[in-house]
Amino acid sequence: MIPPDTLEAVVADVLASTQVIDMHTHLFAPGFGSLGLWGIDHLLTYHYLEAELFRSSPIRPEQYWALSTAQRADLIWKTLFVENNPISEAARGVIAVLHELGLDASARTLEPYRDFFREQNLTDHIARVFQLAGIESVVMTNDPLDPEESPLWDSFTSDPRFHASFHASLRLDRLLNQESAYTPAEARRFLESWATRMRAVYMAVSLPDSFQFPAPDQKRDRRNQLLTEAVLPACRDLNIPLSLMIGVRRQVNPALRLAGDASGRADLRSLEALCRDFPGNRFLVSVLSRENQHELCVYARKFSNLMPFGCWWFLNNPSTVEEITRERLEMLGTSFIPQHSDARILEQVIYKWRNTRRTLAPVLAKTYRLLADDGRAVTRDDIERDVRRLFRTNFEDWTSPSPNPTVWSPASLA
Ligand code: FIX
Ligand code: ZN
């Protein structure tokens, strides 16, 4: 039995020693060349920090966009890290990354950091970053309709080295949210051929808070038609889940570009309809509005083909992650995926996973303390089993189901 006063330390140690699978990122394997972002200039021009810059500097967005990437990074460092203390979650993250990489995080200019990153060999650097972050592999976001990305797939598929650490997911935003000329039959063939080529572990789309399924005019709703006639059948044929990221309000302030998106509460009855009407599909779901979190847990209790995942974007802050994870543990036990990093710049996985572990250690420890109070103390093995399930096997089971799934029968209990 673990003494109550060491419980949190044991949980923290188990979290630290479990290599996680980061099931949604915007990172790219080295074969994708300049699409893969890393280093100090990209860390500082992350859109979370760009949004914060405009709150503390008089610069106007059009003036900012006229600068080079290095000039933008210099301005963000000066404004948010020198003239102010970097206390926001995104700013503190940069400090944690520099510190974990062995750098002095209080330099006044970026030159020492630029020198450090210039000296790194990318392949070795990736291995070191994954090790510091405690991650085994990441899932990329891959859009076959992205004219910059699609031609690069030939070189990636022929380079087997990185398949083990960079999985693909087939992103549907361009296909479903923007105009594309595909008929549903063409779209289905397109998706099946790309998902096979990429070895996609799931398909994914982000959806607005106004998403409705069925739509009032369902037969003329192009997105819903493509969903029902192309995406869902393709996912079923390939036996992969569909990830729905619901509640993003794109470009409420277009002048901020990537930083110009916001969030809104969605009507999750649409999710209820999808889970009920497509029992042969599996849905990985993240919702962006804090107000939708409890409903998501309720629906997960109703539909076993629904897997809640992550505390997405504006929710990925300790106070909110703590609240959401407590609620999920209370309502779902360990049948959910607590977090993904959503990293866009390689080194961000270091701070995002560090923060997740730090926030979740006391949350899990409290859960085990309550269980002990109620009559059952846990062992380290018990904790390891839960942490593995939360950060690895829930995702693995959903994305690589065994070729001959065991059908449950009363005999299996014997
Ligand atoms: O749609 C998404 O996958 C979002 O995560 C991104 O579009 C968003 O810009 C982001 O980076 C949030 O963390
Ligand atoms: Zn994302």
Residue 389's closest CA among 347, 346, 349, 337?
337
Dump pLDDT digits (tens) for 100-110. Answer: 999 999 999 99
pLDDT at 117 over 90: yes
Q: Distance between terminal CA atoms of the chain? A: 30
- Closest Cα to atom 9, ligand 1: which residue? 258
Q: Is the four-CA dihedral 67, 69, 72, 78 of positive or negative sign? A: negative
Which residue did the predictor score with more confidence, 162 or 406?
Answer: 162
Which ligand neighbours the alpha carbon of 260 most closely?
1
Q: How confident is the model at residue 161 (pLDDT cuts 50, 70, 90)?
A: low
Query: Which residue among 26, 205, 250 has the greatest number of ligand 1 atoms within 8 angstroms of its CB, and so is best to mutate?
Result: 26
pLDDT at 160: 65
pLDDT at 177: 86
For the CA of 245, the closest atom of ligand 1 is: 1
Which residue did the predictor score with more confidence, 177 or 112?
Answer: 112
Per the CB < 8 A criterion, the answer to whether 210 and 256 are in contact is no
Q: How confident is the model at residue 181 (pLDDT cuts 50, 70, 90)?
A: confident
For the CA of 206, the closest atom of ligand 1 is: 1
What 3-state DSSP class applies to 25? coil
Dump pLDDT digits (tens) for 243-261. Answer: 999 999 999 999 999 999 9
- Closest Cα to atom 12, ligand 1: which residue? 313
Query: Which residue among 313, 314, 355, 356 has the greatest number of ligand 1 atoms within 8 angstroms of its CB, and so is best to mutate?
Result: 313
Query: Which residue among 50, 206, 253, 286 has the greatest number of ligand 1 atoms within 8 angstroms of its CB, and so is best to mutate?
Result: 206
Which ligand neighbours the alpha carbon of 344 most closely?
1
Dump pLDDT digits (tens) for 313-338. Answer: 999 999 999 999 999 999 999 999 99
pTM: 0.97
For the CA of 312, the closest atom of ligand 1 is: 13
For the CA of 342, the closest atom of ligand 1 is: 13
Query: Which residue among 248, 342, 346, 349 has the greatest number of ligand 1 atoms within 8 angstroms of its CB, and so is best to mutate?
Result: 342
Residue 269's closest CA among 298, 226, 310, 231?
298
pLDDT at 405: 47
Which ligand neighbours the alpha carbon of 49 most closely?
1
pLDDT at 1 over 80: yes
pLDDT at 408 over 70: no
- Closest Cα to atom 1, ligand 1: which residue? 206
Determine what percent of the chain falls in helix, strand and coil, rounding each to the nearest 5.
Answer: 55, 10, 35
pLDDT at 164: 83
- What's the mean pLDDT when you consider all of the chain? 95
pLDDT at 409 over 80: no
Per the CB < 8 A criterion, the answer to whether 166 and 138 are in contact is yes
pLDDT at 403 over 60: no
Which residue did the predictor score with more confidence, 256 or 156?
Answer: 256
Q: In which residue are the tokens 């980061």 written?
A: 22
CA torsion 153-159-160-164 (nearest 10°) is -70
- Closest Cα to atom 2, ligand 1: which residue? 206
For the CA of 248, the closest atom of ligand 1 is: 1
Which ligand neighbours the alpha carbon of 173 most closely?
1
For the CA of 344, the closest atom of ligand 1 is: 11
Q: In which residue are the tokens 């990209």 written?
A: 42
Neighbours of 237 (CB within 10 A): 13
Dump pLDDT digits (tens) for 201-219. Answer: 999 999 999 999 999 999 9
Residue 203's closest CA among 219, 182, 188, 218?
188
Neighbours of 161 (CB within 10 A): 11
pLDDT at 159 over 90: no
| Portion of the chain with pLDDT greater than 70, in percent | 96
Per the CB < 8 A criterion, the answer to whether 235 and 281 are in contact is yes
pLDDT at 276: 98
For the CA of 24, the closest atom of ligand 1 is: 3
Residue 328's closest CA among 385, 271, 277, 389?
389
pLDDT at 407 over 70: no
Which ligand neighbours the alpha carbon of 48 most closely?
1
CA of 313 to the centre of ligand 2 (A): 8
Nearest-angstrom CA–CA distance, 188 and 169: 16
For 11, 68, 85, 89, the CA distances from 97, given in Å and listed in that order, are 23, 23, 16, 12
pLDDT at 67 over 50: yes
pLDDT at 319: 98
pLDDT at 155: 79
The stretches of 134-205 forming alpha helices (DSSP H) are 153-157, 173-177, 184-198
pLDDT at 114 over 90: yes
Averaged pLDDT, 367-371: 97
Measured from CB, residues less than 6 Å from any atom of ligand 1 are: 206, 245, 258, 313, 342, 344
Which residue did the predictor score with more confidence, 342 or 163?
Answer: 342
What is 279-347 written as a DSSP string? TTS-EEEEES-GGGHHHHHHHHHH-TTEEEB---GGG-SHHHHHHHHHHHHHHHTT-SB------SBTT
pLDDT at 414 over 70: no
pLDDT at 239 over 80: yes
Dump pLDDT digits (tens) for 278-324. Answer: 999 999 999 999 999 999 999 999 999 999 999 999 999 999 999 99
CA of 159 to the centre of ligand 2 (A): 25
